[in-house]
Chains A and B, each alone.
Chain A
Amino acid sequence: MLLVGWEAVFFWMLTLVALFAAVFTVSARNPVHCALFLISTLIAKGALFLLLRAEFVAGAQILVYVGGILVLFLFVLMLVNTRSEVENPFNRQDKVGAFIAALVGLAILGAVTYTQQRGGFFKTKPSADRMAIENAKPDPNAPAGVISADTETLGVTLYTRAVLPFEIASVLLLMAIVGSVLLARDRRQEETYD
């Protein structure tokens, strides 16, 4: 469960990248640069997901988040001629926001470290067979490409344990589509269809 060795190395590299990009996402002057840094954070996070053996989610994250949402962001950025802000947003006079955000971060960190101090997050030690699965080596003659069952398990979970949320999510997306179609109608369409 612990990321050790190369994984730890990868972890620290990716965290650095993620943090670095996150800071710049927030503080970049030009919104397009913000978008780019956001993309890099998200890709770094995708990689972190891979480290945490959540392959499908990593793929989905990049496909949907970066490929879909941020493309949309860039679209809108292009349509809306935003001028890059004159001064560094962080030295704006109302620093209260930053202060409070920092406070929230500190609070979370405090909570995390405190629990860490008091003996880590997970009291119960992993059960024996759990460890077995963890370290099990897939049998060599298994067909290639069947290394980890992450995607299959997730698929099964989605359709067995999380069916209701799945349906609700589909309805949500439908609403989003209808909503955006309505929002995007121009005046002429408005008259003709209403």
Chain B
Amino acid sequence: MMMTQGPWMLALSASPKWLESLVERLFAYLPAWLTSSLAPTEVADFIVWPLIQIGVMLVVVLTAVAYLTLAERKVSAWIQVRVGPNRTGPLGLLQPAADGIKLLIKEDVIPFKADKTVFTLAPIISMVCAFIVLAVLPYGPHYASITNINIGLLFILSVSSVGVLGIILGGWASNSKYPLLGALRSSAQMVSYEAAIGLTIVSALIFTRTFSMQGIVEAQRSLGIWFVLFLFPSFIVFLISVVAETNRAPFDLAEAESELVGGFHTEYSGFRFSIFFIAEYANMVVVSAIGATLYLGGWYVPGMDWVAARLPEAYREAALTLMGVTAFAIKCGAILYLFIWMRWTFPRYRYDQLMELGWKWLMPAALANIALTATIFIVGKELGLVRSAGGVLQMDWQGKLFFTLAGLLSMFPILALLNAINRNSKSFNLRAQRTTIPVSTRKVKLSPGVKAA
């Protein structure tokens, strides 16, 4: 069975040489009917090496997720001027293990007349969708991403939208009022903010000019600059909507204890609850990784090539990979820290304010951003500040300066637009609120300029 060379081949990076020789040696031992139709190289490229990569990625991400829970509790403690878990294991490092074991041991309750299949399926869906995205994330040059498909970003978006299903089914399957309402609310929130994320990504695409994640990092590498400088307003919108997307921090109304008890996963307990829990944190990690790749240059740091060029030829590849991975980890960590930090500083949004923020603030901002960046790009192109050679942009320093300044300046028209749109919307407009409160209940004396309602 001859395998013609298809374009898929390149999506999976070729396996290293030692692995191919290893596989050939293995073939000798395997039975003939099995190995007759398979060429050792293909097997190595398409089966063994990806599995190894996936294994590594899973281990890394799972430990990261686990320790993220610990980090969150630690940081929240520090914010509240207390120490946080430091009893289990040295400096509390074993706390995640403890939580994990605790959840495993706990009795796994399925509510009466709940739809068993869907009840069990829901956490799996959300978990799977969270982890699938990892396949596309590049954490290092060349080999350091499980695969590099052409529509990476689109794939991520669609998978995250499928993730919403998990929550909906979770809420519905538990066959009780609160989870159902919680699921409705959180899924509505996720769907609307997902749209916002999509639009911000569109504005980023103007500069990356490709969907594939490696391509995005390569674009920033070729320009030698992170896109956050060009797309600062869209980065802010991205951050806010991402936080909302993962139901965290100021926007975690759905699961908030004071609101709907546990939101969609109140009925879950034990292992299923841990899966939901892991899925949430995995989502957080993934989203921050995307943010890092898209805006903060992924594994690329401006000086990296210069340093690699200094090293001897043999080590250059390994050095690049090492530097890439560390850079990527640091960036993800920074964004995660932002998540956690945001959680303990901002008050929770009321649900209608939350939706209003999504639809009346972030969405218009993203749309305006697309329009502005597009115009800026065309203007830049006309002025000859940016050339696109073979599908990839090339700029010299004047171009970069122009785009950075334009990016920053474009913040103001967006803010003006937002103000115009929400001029008299009740919830945010304090002036409006002050005037609409009936005179009888208002103790505060009106400032001279303001008219009573």
Which DSSP category, helix, strand, loop or mixed, fits chain A's interface?
helix
- Within 8 Å CB of B218, what residues of A? 143-145
Question: Does A157 sit at the interface, judged by CB under 8 A?
Answer: no
Question: Does A164 sit at the interface, judged by CB under 8 A?
Answer: no
A67 pairs with B1, CB closer than 8 A: no
Question: Does B395 sit at the interface, judged by CB under 8 A?
Answer: no
B214 pairs with A67, CB closer than 8 A: no
Q: Which residue of B lies closest to A61 (CB)?
A: B158
Q: Which residue of A lies closest to B42 (CB)?
A: A6
Q: Count contacts on B: residues with CB < 8 A to the other chain.
A: 54
Interface segment out of the listed B20-28, B80-88, B159-167, B399-407: B159-167
Q: A138 and B194 in contact (CB under 8 A), knowing A71-B164, A71-B168, A145-B214?
A: no
- Min CB distance B53 to A, Å, is 16
CA distance A68 to B161 in the complex (A): 8
B115 pairs with A30, CB closer than 8 A: yes
Question: Does B424 sit at the interface, judged by CB under 8 A?
Answer: no
Question: Does B148 sit at the interface, judged by CB under 8 A?
Answer: yes
A62 pairs with B215, CB closer than 8 A: no
CA distance A78 to B169 in the complex (A): 10
B390 pairs with A145, CB closer than 8 A: no
Chain A residues numbered 126-172 whose CB sits less than 8 Å from any CB in chain B: 135, 137-138, 142-148, 150-152
- Min CB distance A174 to B, Å, is 14
Write out, one digit per residue, whether chain B residues 178-219 have a CB within 8 A of any chain A CB (1) or not (0): 001001100110010010001000000000001111111011
- Within 8 Å CB of A142, what residues of B? 390
- Within 8 Å CB of B4, what residues of A? 4-5, 135
A144 pairs with B7, CB closer than 8 A: no
- Within 8 Å CB of B214, what residues of A? 144-145
Interface segment out of the listed A13-21, A52-60, A107-115, A182-190: A52-60
Q: Which residue of B lies closest to A144 (CB)?
A: B214
Q: A66 and B7 in contact (CB under 8 A), knowing A56-B151, A59-B151?
A: no
CA distance A93 to B191 in the complex (A): 41
Question: Does B15 sit at the interface, judged by CB under 8 A?
Answer: no
Chain A residues numbered 32-47 whose CB sits less than 8 Å from any CB in chain B: 32-33, 36, 39, 43, 46
- Min CB distance A42 to B, Å, is 10
Question: Does B172 sit at the interface, judged by CB under 8 A?
Answer: yes
B390 pairs with A137, CB closer than 8 A: no
CA distance A70 to B169 in the complex (A): 12
CB < 8 Å: which of B5, B184, B210, B219 contacts A75?
A: B184
Question: Does A74 sit at the interface, judged by CB under 8 A?
Answer: yes
Q: Which among B151, B155, B215 has the greatest number of chain A C-beta atoms within 10 A?
A: B151
Q: A74 and B165 in contact (CB under 8 A), knowing A55-B151, A145-B152?
A: yes
A59 pairs with B154, CB closer than 8 A: yes
CA distance A172 to B213 in the complex (A): 33
- Within 8 Å CB of B168, what residues of A? 71, 74-75, 78
CA distance A151 to B153 in the complex (A): 12
CB < 8 Å: which of A4, A56, A58, A145 contacts B212?
A: A145
B165 pairs with A59, CB closer than 8 A: no
A74 pairs with B148, CB closer than 8 A: no
Q: Which residue of B lies closest to A30 (CB)?
A: B115
Question: Does B314 sit at the interface, judged by CB under 8 A?
Answer: no
A5 pairs with B2, CB closer than 8 A: yes
- Within 8 Å CB of A151, what residues of B? 150-151, 154, 211
- Min CB distance A146 to B, Å, is 6
B165 pairs with A146, CB closer than 8 A: no
B157 pairs with A63, CB closer than 8 A: yes
- Within 8 Å CB of B124, what residues of A? none
- Within 8 Å CB of B3, what residues of A? 5-6
B148 pairs with A144, CB closer than 8 A: yes
CA distance A145 to B151 in the complex (A): 8
Q: Which residue of A lies closest to B153 (CB)?
A: A59
Q: A146 and B391 in contact (CB under 8 A), knowing A74-B168, A75-B168?
A: yes
- Min CB distance A154 to B, Å, is 11
Task: Pick the 10 closest A-B CB pairs, nearest first.
Answer: A145-B215, A67-B161, A145-B212, A59-B154, A62-B158, A63-B158, A144-B214, A55-B151, A145-B210, A59-B151
Instruction: Jot down 23 A-B pairs with beta carbons below 8 A, ordered by A.
Output: A30-B115, A32-B118, A33-B117, A36-B121, A55-B150, A59-B154, A59-B158, A66-B165, A67-B157, A67-B161, A68-B161, A71-B191, A75-B184, A78-B168, A135-B5, A143-B215, A143-B218, A143-B219, A143-B391, A145-B210, A145-B211, A145-B215, A152-B391
Interface residues of A (CB under 8 A from B): 4-7, 30, 32-33, 36, 39, 43, 46, 53, 55-56, 58-60, 62-63, 66-68, 70-71, 74-75, 77-78, 135, 137-138, 142-148, 150-152
Instruction: Apart from A55-B154, A56-B154, list 4 A-B contacts with CB within 8 A.
Output: A58-B151, A62-B159, A144-B218, A147-B10
